[in-house]
Amino acid sequence: NIAPVNKNSSVINLTINNPVKEKAVDFLNALVIAYNKDAVSDKNQVSKKTKEFIDGRLEIVKEDLSGINNRLKNFKTKNKITDIEAESTLILQELSESNKSILNTSIQFILVKALNENLIKSNNGKDEVLPTNLGFQDQSIAQTIIEYNKQIAEKRRLLRTASEQNPVVIGVTEEIEGLKISLLKSLKNSEKVLDLKLQNLQLEDSKIKSRISGVPLQELEFHDIKLQREIIAGLYTYLLKKKEETDISLAVTVPNAKIIDKAYGSGNPISPKRKITYLAALLLGGLIPFVFIYLRFLFDTKIHSKKDILDTLSIPFIGSIPKSKSKEKIVISGDDRSSCAEAFRLIRTNLDFMLSSNDATCKTIFITSTTSGEGKSFVSINIASSLVLSGKKVLLIGLDLRAPKVTEYLNVPHKKGVSNFVLDSRLNIDELIFQVDELKNLDILSSGIVPPNPAELLMSKEIETLFKRLKEKYDYIVVDTAPVNLVTDTMLVAKYADMFVYVARANYLDKRLLEVPQALYKEKRLPNMAMVLNDTDPKNSNGYGYGYGYGYGYGYGVEEKPWYKKIFSKK
């Protein structure tokens, strides 16, 4: 982490979190050292480039100076001349001033030309910094060079952490190219100006020389050689001076950052903070279960217990059927004391109570539900079986002509039934009734073949005739009908029922669909309705009604203990 000491301070704090204190201290110290080295290197780039340029020019000027000295020596040896003082004082003064101007202009011209050549050579795609502080008379060129070098340094800094395609790098590159073009134009213009000025000075020098036409030819030749020697010697001296200045600049470069305090580590751990961790664990431990339970109840729209039925419906409730552990469809028999068997016995008692006001000899009990899959066929078979155990003569009719399930539950092959009787008047109803081994005293009439028009068949007079004949022979007729929310079949035969048992399956039926039986009860479209809740959880405390009596007075009820109670009970 890097942060200033305060808003108005130029001092920053560097901090790092690490399990090893010594490692973090060494890392921060090394980081500051590397930063300062990098800053010094950036500052010295321009000076190093200037030094390289001056060294190169010194080698060239040194060769030129050596050549002109050899020429002067050869001239004096050839003409056997040691000293020439034949010039008049006035002409020599004018000639001296002219020589000074030519000297200064030549130096400027040579520097501008050399820098121009150096800049042209750098157009090979590699941007290099340019030498500065060469003493140009044109200050705009010097300022442009400084700005150019500054942009080169910025580009190199950016390329350490970014690619050539980075938008900032592209912008800096374009700025460098613009400065380079501007600098080339300035150098070209300066070169032309200096060349023109040099020509004018040479012209003036020629005029002065013409005034001393009487001076011997050797003196004039000696003067030219001496002038060239002075120019080259002056340039050599100038470059040596600039080289010394550059060396001094390289030697005194200081880093950007000053270390106030070296890195140090804290003796106390900063992470993890135990109090905060314990507090967070405590909050999460309470919050997560609460959210889970809340969301579970929020999105749970299924019926689970008798309480859900009683809180929503005003229909009489006659019993709950717990989830059966066995896969058998017939759960009640003479010696069975299971929870399911006792539940159907309780329902049988409640049915007798609700049908006690009916003086009819035969009592018809119709079983229906809201949708398919709620267990109405299962309830029909076992209610009929429980009535048979009470010594009554009972008939079970499968009247769900669209999806018959009674014969499928009893593992009985396809048989003729109600639909066949309605379609074929020649059939005798007694021939269609059969029994199964599991329920020897229970007569069964299947639904028969699946007709293409079940609703029309149920509206026929043959159905009325069928019920009249059967009521003469039986004490109870249990009818498995179709779901009321899917088809209209059950409504068509409701007039033949003395009572309707409406089955709702726990953990299956949506609570919103309880509006269907409530509406039917209020509108009295199904006579003498009563609710039965199927497939409930025996461990659910809300499913009260038979949990107390199982095993009461008998030796059959064995409580199922949780695994942890079993372990401790063994001890």
Compute the distance between CA of residue 508 and CA of residue 483 in angstroms, rounded to an integer.
Answer: 15
Task: Identify which has the larger pLDDT, 371 or 99.
Answer: 371
Backbone φ, ψ for residue 21 (5° rounding): -65, -45
pLDDT digits (tens, 9 = 90+) for 372-399: 989 999 999 999 999 999 889 999 999 9
pLDDT digits (tens, 9 = 90+) for 247-298: 887 777 777 677 878 887 877 777 777 888 889 999 999 899 988 888 887 7
Residue 562: is the preceding peptide bond cis (ω within 30°)? Answer: no
This prediction's pTM:
0.51
pLDDT at 213: 55
Strands 2-4 and 12-14: antiparallel
Residue 548: pLDDT over 70: no
Q: What's the confidence (pLDDT) of residue 551? A: 37
Q: Do residues 370 and 450 make contact, with C-beta atoms less than 8 angstroms apart?
A: no
- The Cα–Cα gap between 418 and 399 comes to 7
**Average of per-residue pLDDT across 449-453:** 89
Residue 231 CA: distances (Å) to CA of 106, 259, 525: 8, 50, 127
d(Cα 312, Cα 515) in Å, to the nearest integer?
Answer: 9
pLDDT at 521 over 80: yes
pLDDT band at 369 (very low <50, low <70, confident <90, very high): very high
Tokens of 423: 């379609």
Q: Which pLDDT belongs to residue 84?
A: 53
243, 51 contact by CB (below 8 A): yes
For 93-100, the CB contacts below 8 A with 24+ separation are 94/208, 95/205, 95/208, 95/209, 95/212, 95/223, 98/201, 98/204, 98/205, 98/208, 99/205, 99/227, 99/230
What's the pLDDT tens digit per position in 78-98?
Answer: 766 555 554 456 666 777 787
The C-alpha atoms of residue 321 and residue 380 are separated, in whole angstroms, by 12
Q: Is residue 495 over pLDDT 60?
A: yes
The mean pLDDT value for 58-83 works out to 76
pLDDT of residue 336: 73
pLDDT of residue 549: 37
According to DSSP, residue 494 is labeled G
**CA–CA distance, 23 with 27 (Å, rounded to integer):** 6
Question: What value does the mean pLDDT take over residues 509-531?
Answer: 92
Q: How confident is the model at residue 543 (pLDDT cuts 50, 70, 90)?
A: very low
Average pLDDT, the chain: 81
pLDDT reading at 184 higher than 50: yes
pLDDT exceeds cutoff 80 at 76:
no
Q: What is the 3-state secondary structure (H, E, C) of 508-557?
A: CCEHHHHHHHHHHHHCCCCCCEEEEEEEECCCCCCCCCCCCCCCCCCCCC
- Provide the pLDDT for residue 483: 93
Decide: residue 429, CB within 10 A, 0-12 exposed, 13-18 middle, 19+ buried: middle
Task: Please answer whether residues 351 and 477 qualify as being in contact, where contact means their C-beta atoms are separated by less than 8 angstroms.
Answer: no
Would you state the pLDDT for residue 517? 94
